[in-house]
Structure formats: structure tokens, C-alpha cells
Amino acid sequence: MPRVLSRTPSIFAPFRRLQQLMLAALLLAGSGSALAQALPVQVQVSGNTATAQIGVLGQPVADLTLSFDDASGLSASSLGISAKLVNLNNAALLARLPDLQLTQLDSALPLLITVEPPGNGGLSFNRTVRVEVHTHALSYSAGSAYRLFKAPLLGPFRDISDEIAPGSVRARGTTGGFSQFLVLLDLRDTGDVIAAKFDWLRDRVDALPVGVRPGYTASLDAAEAAVASENFATAIAELDTLRASAASQAGGALTQQWQAGGSNNQAGDLIAGAATLKFSIAYLRDYGH
């Protein structure tokens, strides 16, 4: 059954209304194009964390935070961050969503963020990066259907969410790479989402060196069987085991580095895939389908 979002008044309501009016004006100004309106982006870097304010200075549409496990060459220019408000009827973009009816752009935040580091920028990182899109243009409620989706350039989007938090909405996910992000309403059956995430992880495991596959396959088999029997604690524990194994083998039996221009970050993909699968299993436990 589709989930129903509750939208209750909050202290952010006046600010949210201002953002929505700004978004509407920008979309109207660029309504003739498929990607309606580029937005200014201001990026700051401190240590292993980069923050980007998207929109007019002082009145951002959203904030993007990238928290790296271990980055090298991290700078505003090496990240290659850009953002655009998209046309809700952009057929090419809609075709990249998992389900045209059940995964939807919200007219309050039709925002496409691209992180495409230039090949000569010198950026690399080990294992994972935590991505947060924070906006007051959307309202948070417990059991929210908002999700953070990621895609390669021109490729299909998939849910990478591992936390949806208030403030008004903070959509968070972990990834072993980049490059494009959307916050979407995901009204798909949670069981279908979980099945897709198991399939994605199994594809990653199947590409590992033969000698390390059995342990990861066993964890996935046990987690999937536990979900089927509604033993959610065991399923989550098995995914914790998988994540711990990937972290311990990163840089050894598993590759762990992402770098601009191409990489195969096996450890990062496994850690991130397990994190988003855990989120969906916990959602099924707490809220049902």
C-alpha cells in the first residue's frame, strides 16, 4: 500500500514557503528547457568534509555535505559539484527512475545534484563517502517516504538511503563513488526495494575474487532468509558482519580506492550496499510495506 505523508506545521514553514516560491520562479524562468535552471553552488572544504550551499547565498535551496572516510586531493575545484532545478516532465530524466509511477520528483524540490570530479583534479578516496542533502523545502514526518537516489551520469537511479532525518529533511546515504543525486518520493513496496538491494549486493559479490566470495555470499543468504522469516534482528546482524568483513579486507583482498577517471571500489560498494539494505530492512520492521 502506498505510504501517506503527513505534513504538519513547523517553525520552518515560513522559510519553506519562501524556498518554494523561489523554486517556482526559477522553474518558470527556465521552463522551456529540459534542465530548467542551473543554480549557484558555493563549496567549502575542511579536512575530510566538503559542504556545498546550493542556491542564492543566505537563502539556499539545499545544502550538500560530503564526509569522506579518507580523502586525498579534496578541494572545491576537485569535486566538480553542480546543481540544477529540473523540469518535472523531463522524459529523459524520468526514464532513469526505477518506477515512473512510484518513484517521483517532488515539485517542492526538483533538484538534480551532480558530483563529477574532473579527471585531472587529483581527487581520490578510500572506502566510502557519506552524502547528506539537507533542505527546508520538504517536510519531515516519521516513516517519511523521501529517499536519496544516486546514478552514474545518464544512468539509472537507485536508492542509497541509510537515514532520513528531520531538519526539515536530511536525506543521507553512503556510497563508494559518485555522480548524480536526487531526493525522491519512493512509494514502492518495501519488500520490492529490499529485493532490489539484495540483487545489487549479490552482483557486487559475484565480481569479487573467487577466494573471498563464500563469506559474503553466506552473509547475504542468511540475511535474506532472515528477512523472509521476519527475523529482522538476525538480518541486520548478518549485514553488520558483511560490512565488518569488507572494512577489514579493504586495501587487501578487496580494492578500496575511488579516483576520478575510473575505479573499482569493492570494499566501498559492499559497505555502502549493506548500509542502505539495513535501512530498508529496519523500515520494513518499523513501518511494514
Nearest to 72 by CA among 126, 22, 17: 126
Average pLDDT, the chain: 90
At 46-102, the pLDDT tens digits run 999 999 999 987 789 999 999 999 999 999 999 999 999 999 999 999 999 999 999
Residue in the structure block whose three cell numbers are 572494512:
247
| Secondary structure (3-state) at 221 | helix
Nearest to 56 by CA among 85, 81, 22, 80: 22
Query: Cα separation of 117 and 69, whole Å?
Result: 17
At 229-271, the pLDDT tens digits run 999 999 999 999 999 999 999 999 999 999 987 789 999 999 9
Query: Cα separation of 130 and 189, whole Å?
Result: 25
Query: Cα separation of 197 and 31, whole Å?
Result: 35
Give the rounded percent of residues in the chain with a pLDDT score beyond 70: 88
At 194-238, the pLDDT tens digits run 999 999 999 999 999 999 999 999 999 999 999 999 999 999 999
| pLDDT (0 to 100) of residue 175 | 97
| pLDDT (0 to 100) of residue 256 | 97
Query: Cα separation of 107 and 137, whole Å?
Result: 10
The size of the chain, in residues, is 289
Establish whether the linkage from the previous residue to 124 is cis, with ω within 30° of 0.
no
Q: What is the pTM of this model?
A: 0.88
The confidence band for 36, taking pLDDT boundaries of 50, 70 and 90, is: low
| pLDDT (0 to 100) of residue 6 | 36
| pLDDT (0 to 100) of residue 23 | 53
